[in-house]
Amino acid sequence: MSKPNNDGYYQAYWPRGVRQQKTRALAPRLNSLEGKTVAQLWDYLFKGDEVFELLEEGLKKKYPGVKFVSWRDFGSTHGGDEKDALAALPKRFKELGVDAVISGMAC
């Protein structure tokens, strides 16, 4: 004998919201790091200072003409004033002749 079904019938709606941003393409990549200026951006977390020092050492060995702008020149990218700090970056990059960015640390 089959059991009576008292589990109801429901038409349930999607609980999410529509995404508000179309995806964008990434910036064009460089041909090489040789002769380029790379900015270091740091959120002041997880030994980024030591990591940037190592990367700088290794990349300079591989690309003798590469230059770096230290994270000290930008301040933290993660904090109470994050929005203003990020908005100011493009202008600062232009002033410093930056070509590419290394950003850390997600841990």
Partner 1 sequence: MLRASAACEAAGYPTSSLTCEGFFKQAAATSIGLGMRNIPLALVPGHIGNKSKDDLRRDILGVTMQAVVDNLTVATTAQADSSEPGARDIVVKGAFAEVNRYFYEHELADGLPIVPPTRDAIEEFLKFTDRQPDEMLGVLLPDRRAATVWNVAVNGVMAGCRPEYMPVLIALIEAMCDPKYGVEHSGNTPGGDTLIILNGPIIKELGFNYLQGALRDGFLPNTSVGRFWRLYLRNVAGFLLHKTDKATFGNTWRVVLAENEDVLKSIGWPTISADMGFKAGDNTVTISRYTGGGSLSSVTGSTPEEMLPYLADSLVKFNNWQITFTTSHGPGTLRPLAVITPIIAETIAKAGWKKSDVQKWLFEHARITAHDFERQLRDWNIRGVWDLKDDVTHGRIPKVFYESDDPNRLVPIVWKAEDFMIAVGGDPLRNNAYVFGHNGFLGFPTAKKIELPKEWERLLAAQAI
Residue 2-21 contact track with partner 1, rule CB under 8 A, x = bound = ---x-xxxxxxxxxxxxxxx
Q: Tally the C-alpha atoms within 13 A of residue 104's C-alpha that lie toward its C-beta.
A: 17
**Nearer CB in complex with partner 1: 1/27:** 27
**Nearer CB in complex with partner 1: 15/64:** 15
Q: Tally the C-alpha atoms within 13 A of residue 61's C-alpha that lie toward its C-beta.
A: 5
Subset of 24-83 contacting partner 1 (CB under 8 A) = 24-33, 38-39, 41-51, 54-55, 57-59, 62, 76-80, 82-83
Other beta carbons less than 10 A from residue 9's beta carbon: 5
Longest dimension (CA), the chain: 83
**Bond preceding residue 105 cis, omega within 30 of 0:** yes
Binding residues for partner 1, how many (CB under 8 A)? 69
Binder of partner 1 out of 65, 70, 73, 86 (CB under 8 A):
86
Report in angstroms how near the CB of residue 4 gets to partner 1 at its nearest. 12
